[in-house]
């Protein structure tokens, strides 16, 4: 059995398994796999996707297929401006990732958003800004809950994404 999040497995199952932690693949290996699978039309895109994929070939392929580098830049730009939100850019992102047939793009955007928040919380903690780190960690938890509820209840994804950014802006403002 392979599990990316063993903590989510039932204890009765986990107790019958042997744990073997593996390091993520290096970006060069992921880039080579992309070329092997025929995703090497644009080498710069393949390299960027490999770097953003955090060691996952599947994630790198999805990024190439869904213009993940553009999504990363959009989300990074929005989170960099927090607590001030660029509403026009936010709606542009929301329109892009919530259109019909953009399920993978939406999931990539959510991964990028939560990764950005987690990184900013960690950076705040490392520099001794514990109040900011706690606020960002609480916002991350609330955003994950919000997005999970929206998915489980089939609520409007665009509204959920906009609400997630609003929640992040509120947390950063404190």
173: confidence class by pLDDT, cuts 50, 70, 90: confident
Query: What's the token pair of residue 89?
Result: 């850019």
Three-class secondary structure of residue 161 per DSSP: helix
Q: Which of 18-22, 82-86, 139-143 is the least confident region? A: 18-22
Picking from 122, 96, 112, 102, the residue whose alpha carbon sits closest to that of residue 165 is 112
1: confidence class by pLDDT, cuts 50, 70, 90: confident
* pLDDT tens sequence across 5-18: 788 889 999 899 88
**Per-residue pLDDT at 163:** 96
Summary mean pLDDT of the chain: 92
| Residue appearing with tokens 């994630």 | 59
**Per-residue pLDDT at 172:** 86
**Per-residue pLDDT at 45:** 86
- What's the whole-number mean pLDDT along residues 64-93? 93
* pLDDT tens sequence across 105-123: 999 999 999 999 999 999 9
State how far the alpha carbon of 127 is from the alpha carbons of 76, 115, 121, 122, in Å. 20, 18, 10, 9
What's the predicted TM-score (pTM) here? 0.81
CB 90 within 8 A of CB 162: yes
- What's the whole-number mean pLDDT along residues 20-33? 91
**Per-residue pLDDT at 44:** 86
- What's the whole-number mean pLDDT along residues 13-34? 90
Query: What's the token pair of residue 46?
Result: 């393949």
Q: Is the pLDDT of residue 3 over 90?
A: no
């Amino acid at each position: 059995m392979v599990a990316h999040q063993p903590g989510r497995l039932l204890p009765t199952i986990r107790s019958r398994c042997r744990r073997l932690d593996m390091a993520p693949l290096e970006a060069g290996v992921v880039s080579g796999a992309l070329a092997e699978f025929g995703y090497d039309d644009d080498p710069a895109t393949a390299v960027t996707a490999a770097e953003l994929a955090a060691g996952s070939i599947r994630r790198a392929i999805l990024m190439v297929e869904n213009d993940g580098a553009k999504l990363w830049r959009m989300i990074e730009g929005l989170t960099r401006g927090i607590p001030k939100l660029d509403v026009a850019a936010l709606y542009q992102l929301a329109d892009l990732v919530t259109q019909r047939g953009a399920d993978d793009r939406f999931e990539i955007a959510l991964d990028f958003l939560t990764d950005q928040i987690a990184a900013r919380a960690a950076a705040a903690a490392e520099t001794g800004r514990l109040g900011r780190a706690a606020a960002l960690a609480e916002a991350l938890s609330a955003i994950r809950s919000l997005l999970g509820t929206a998915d489980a209840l089939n609520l409007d994804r665009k509204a959920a994404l906009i609400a997630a950014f609003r929640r992040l802006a509120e947390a950063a403002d404190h």
